[in-house]
Amino acid sequence: MHEKTEHFRLLFLDKKNALIADEVQQQGTVDSAPVYPREVVKRALELSATALILVHNHPSGDPTPSRADIEMTRAIADAARAVNIVVHDHLIVARASTASFKSLGLL
């Protein structure tokens, strides 16, 4: 996932955490990709997913979550929780490393 622009992917999981689908939700610019919680939850419901893993890249090479990343993740997790969908993690992939919101205590 070493793209020149940000790509936001969603991994949709079933109740046994088996992968249902891996989809690109949005493609953005060098430092952002617009993501809408409503669209994330809508697609999860269409696929009958019970859990999600969010994944996006940082072309800069620094996997540190931005304030916008943190706020967007919380908004998605809150919207998903309202319909009994769990967000297991949000991974930010950079050139040489990856950040996990779960491991960082952000989720």
Q: pTM of the predicted model, to two decimals?
A: 0.88
Q: What is the pLDDT of residues 62-72, one digit of tens each?
A: 899 999 999 99
Average pLDDT, the chain: 90
Coil, strand, or helix at residue 26? strand
Domain boundary assignment for the chain: 1-7+28-55+65-97
Compute the residue count for the chain. 107
User: What CATH homologous superfamily does 1-7+28-55+65-97 map to?
Assistant: Response regulator (3.40.50.2300)
**CB-based contact 101:73 (threshold 8 Å):** yes
More confident residue, 27 or 75: 75
**CA dist 91 → 13, 55, 57, 63 (Å):** 15, 5, 8, 9
Coil, strand, or helix at residue 10? strand
CA dihedral of 85, 86, 87, 89, whole degrees rounded to 10 = -150
Residue 28 has pLDDT above 60, yes or no: no
